[in-house]
Amino acid sequence: AAAAQAFGQSLTPRRRAQNARRSADLSERPGLNRARASSGSRATKTKRTARRARRAPHSTMRAARRALSAAPQPSAVSHRVGEYGLGGRHSVSGVRASLFGATGFLGRYVCSEMGKVGTRVRVGNRGSDDETRHLKVSFDHGQFHAPFYSPRDVASVADVVGRATVVVNMVGKYYETKGVVPKKQKDGSTSRVNYSYEATNVDVARTVAEAANAAGAHLVHVSCMAQDPKSPVSWARTKAAGEKAVLEACPHATIVRPCALFGPEDRLLNWFAGMADMPLNVVPLVNDGAAVAQPTYVADVAKVLNVIASDPEAYAGKVVELGGPAEYTRRELAEFTFDITKQKARLVDVPAAWSSTAASFLSELPVPMWTPDDVALDALDVVVSPDTPALTFADFGIAPTPIEKIAFSYLHRYREGGHFIIAQGFHG
């Protein structure tokens, strides 16, 4: 009351007279007084709501800025030489990688892992822009480039390498690519083969290794666990010859040998499901599927390659052998696949000689499902030796992912009628 009296005394005489007249007028018309009071309160609430709405974006931004400032920021001590940024995809790791064969099965996962840490990547592209566009989303702006090249053109290979600090060669093919019509070869003969096993696994590997060595970049060469110069599989023999050619051109290269890879785009479990979708539902098993495999998750191999690319000098001249956490026969893998897909497949024991004859016909297709080399490989045990002197997943601190944890996510699409066809109670 004292404060109100003091405020009233501070007003000018004219202002006090206006207030007195307004009070008298309102006292004579109580209905109008209540209406004005209520309308005034509504107007006040409306104005207050509008002011809050205008302030909302600013308050949200202030809260976001406070949260960002409170979050731990990378310090200069934690950065490698040449690395800067906030970390993750929105940073530059200081690593410049050139990838060959990145448009294949393993390559897309390697791109994803490198994009997570801000590695700047050049992907060699032999096709159109559509061949690499699915890889761009793994990188921040300016971190991805896909120059065109030909494996038979040394200058274009050197252009892909550029100023890279590390080069990863993942080029490989499970069949020999063929043209529609025969063409003349260097020795004067004619053949439909475009890239043979020798050309893909040896010549291209040597060309990439020489380009990496000339540029002073470290080379990571992805081979396979089945490589063996005395193998009955020509594909595996050329893989061994490719390793030898790489080490001759680049003695400090890192050799990575993964076992059979599994994942959404694999040729392991998808092969069984694809064969079961054929008209006769027959799935051939070479020698009753007795050969042992050690399936390895493709993303785990990509993580290892990313670790090597981040510190290539620590792994120079090393051999890395990567196998999954468990071993299975091919029959067990087939039964596991059909336990998920619920396909009515017939597993048929076929001797290797008969299988090779059937695969020779299928190998004439543009993209064959089965080749004679596949048959010969299906009869061999391909696992990592427990006492191997090479580096394994354990040396990288990575626990290999079990096949049971991943397979369902991409095999259930083969179920007849879709994913929910076997669910009980959904339709009453």
In tens, the pLDDT along 383-414 reads 999 999 999 999 999 999 999 999 999 999 99
Query: Residue 46 in 3-state DSSP?
Result: helix
Query: Residue 48 in 3-state DSSP?
Result: helix
pLDDT at 96 over 90: yes
**Average pLDDT, integer, range 254-264:** 97
Query: Cα separation of 215 and 19, whole Å?
Result: 89
pLDDT at 214 over 50: yes
Per-residue model confidence (pLDDT) at position 77: 42
Which pair of structure tokens corresponds to residue 69? 């400032």
**Average pLDDT, integer, range 370-378:** 91
Lowest mean pLDDT among 171-180, 281-290, 387-396: 171-180
Per-residue model confidence (pLDDT) at position 353: 85
Residues 6+ apart with CB under 8 A from 115: 89, 121, 138, 139, 140, 143, 144
**Average pLDDT, integer, range 280-303:** 95
Per-residue model confidence (pLDDT) at position 428: 46
Query: Cα separation of 387 and 369, whole Å?
Result: 35
Query: Cα separation of 258 and 225, whole Å?
Result: 5
Lowest mean pLDDT among 41-55, 69-83, 169-183, 237-251: 69-83
Which pair of structure tokens corresponds to residue 144? 């991805």
Q: Which of 303, 128, 161, 319 is nearest to 240 (CA)?
A: 319
pLDDT at 59 over 50: yes
pLDDT digits over 69-84, tens only? 565 554 444 555 566 6
Per-residue model confidence (pLDDT) at position 268: 95
**177 band by pLDDT with thresholds 50, 70 and 90:** confident
What's CA 236's distance to the chain center, in Å? Answer: 26
| Farthest CA pair distance, the chain | 118
Contact 64, 56 (CB under 8 A): no
Per-residue model confidence (pLDDT) at position 416: 84
**295 band by pLDDT with thresholds 50, 70 and 90:** very high
Contact 346, 199 (CB under 8 A): no
pLDDT at 349 over 90: yes
**Average pLDDT, integer, range 296-318:** 96
Query: Cα separation of 327 and 242, whole Å?
Result: 27
Per-residue model confidence (pLDDT) at position 283: 94
Lowest mean pLDDT among 168-172, 245-249, 415-419: 415-419
